[in-house]
Structure 1
Amino acid sequence: MTKGKVLIIGSNATRIEVQGGGTGATGQYLNETVVPALALIEAGYEVVLATPNGTQPHIDEASDSADHFGGDVAAYERARTFFYTDPAMTKVRTLRSVIAEGLDAYAGVFVPGGQGPVVDLMQDADTGEILRHFHDRQKPTALLCHGPVAVVSAMSNARDFRAALIDSDTPKAAELAKGWPYAGYRMTVFSNSEEKVVEDHILHAKLYFNMVDALNTAGAEVITTATDFEPNVIVDRELITGQNPRSDHPIAKAFVTALDLSLVAA
């Protein structure tokens, strides 16, 4: 017996649009996926990984390193083995099948980062339906690094909102965001200065929009650290957000605590 099931929403994106045309390689971060997943399992929860098309997320090569595990090679190798061989990570569901089965079966939902969610999850209708379900029931909802931008999908016009951001039409995007369920929520996300590091040293190109600007335009109150890559977790009602890859362990701890408290309250 487990304490309950937790849904992990993964991205299927492998490329992200960059200014000037073309795309850059992207995906999902290994540590941001595995560290919280293992923490959930160790706390007594069952994790279910689902993506828009039902295939396993692509791990961004930039995250496939012991550097994201504090230089701990053993922890890094354990993470890779878990992601690529454990049924919790390899038996991937479609988001639609999870919805059809019934979301009430899940105690909470988690969205890891990497830039992948910026491409697909933030404008994915199934992701939006899932997040609205958990929001309406005030069930623990955790999102890490770029993952918090997925809450945009809870808008009725998420695809048009994203398109307006790409067109730099902030007034149109703000108008499209009216009625967004997370308006007024305090949250964090990968900061603009952190994104510049990725643009300069990994993508070698500039994105069309930053995550902080996107969420502020949507109506969120975004809080980021003064120092880049310093762990940061913000909790507001059911929503738990982490700023960057180094927030993996802190958000896992906060999420498990919220799930346990939710069980007690039930």
Structure 2
Amino acid sequence: MKKVLFVLPSHDQLGNSGHKTGYWLEEFASPYYEFTDNEYEVTIASPNGGKPPVDPKSLQPENQTEYTKRLQNDKDAKEKLENTKLLSDIYSGDYDTLFLPGGHGPMWDLSEDKDLKKIVEDFYNDDKVISAVCHGPAGLLQAKDKNGNSILKNKRVTGFTNDEEETVKLEKTVPFSLEDRLKEVGSNFEKSENFKPFVVSDGRIITGQNPASAFLAAKKVIEILR
């Protein structure tokens, strides 16, 4: 049985806006079921362990999908989400692939977490598949290859775009522009229409632009690992 490590944020404050954030439910739910339905064993970790914060907006009725509804009645999945492992306790050698869902939370903590930096670098150096969706690629920004270059240098990647950030009116709230930062580390950033499914695969790095891309990103991981 192949093993996938999901990493979710522990950060729950949307800057100084007074609003809450976290991970986006659909970006966890649809990949989770794509992996488990294909008989992958899923482990979930976060910087602080325990229950990671979910973005309250992702719980609103208009943002529910067949996968988020399935999650509500899944005792095993909910128990895993209540009791995520500490990132500092994770040994990357135990897993076949890494998946970073988005939501705005990762922009604050996963973009700076040193344990995640090491995990990503270990996966990369072991030639394992790394995938990240929406704001999840923030968790890849620190990682370097053995020559000290960004693991994203000269790689085709995508992520939540400046246009999408402006559309949700959070471009002044986020700590940095994800699109700009991905370009700064030397990646070849690509994008499609706002909020439409778009996945980019370059070698063993797979990225998705937005929530609508999460399921397709997981599907691509499974294709590659087959």
Return the TM-score normalized by structure 1: 0.78
Distance in 2 of aligned mates of 1:42 and 1:77: 16
Aligned: 1:223 with 2:190: yes
Aligned: 1:247 with 2:217: no
SS at match of 1:258: helix
Aligned partners of 1:113 and 1:145 also within 8 Å: yes
**Unmatched 5+ stretches in structure 2:** none
- Cα distance change, pair 205–82 in 1 and its aligned pair in 2 (3 A): farther
Within a 5 Å distance, the mapping from 1:1-266 to structure 2 comes to: 3-17=1-15, 24-69=19-64, 72=65, 75-82=67-74, 86-99=78-91, 103-155=92-144, 179-199=149-169, 206-225=173-192, 227-260=193-226
In the TM superposition, structure 1's runs of 4+ consecutive aligned residues that sit over 2 Å from their partners are: 22-25, 65-69, 74-77, 79-91, 203-209
Distance in 2 of aligned mates of 1:214 and 1:83: 38
The structure that has the greater radius of gyration is: 1
Question: Deviations along 1:147-170, whole A, 9 cap, x unmatched?
Answer: 0111013159xxxxxxxxxxxxxx
Q: Quick one: percent identity of the two aligned structures?
A: 29
- Cα distance change, pair 92–232 in 1 and its aligned pair in 2 (3 A): same
Aligned partners of 1:34 and 1:82 also within 8 Å: no
CA RMSD of aligned residues (A): 2.2
**C-alpha displacement of 1:94:** 0.5
**C-alpha displacement of 1:222:** 0.8
Task: Judge which range, 58-67 or 138-147, deviates more.
Answer: 58-67
Which amino acid in structure 2 is aligned with residue 184 of structure 1? N
Question: Deviations along 1:114-158, whole A, 9 cap, x unmatched?
Answer: 0111000010000000000111112111101000111013159xx
Question: Deviations along 1:149-204, whole A, 9 cap, x unmatched?
Answer: 11013159xxxxxxxxxxxxxxxxxxxxx6222211110000111111222xxx59
**Unmatched 5+ stretches in structure 1:** 157-177, 261-266
SS at match of 2:90: helix
Return the TM-score normalized by structure 2: 0.91
Which amino acid in structure 1 is aligned with residue 224 of structure 2? A
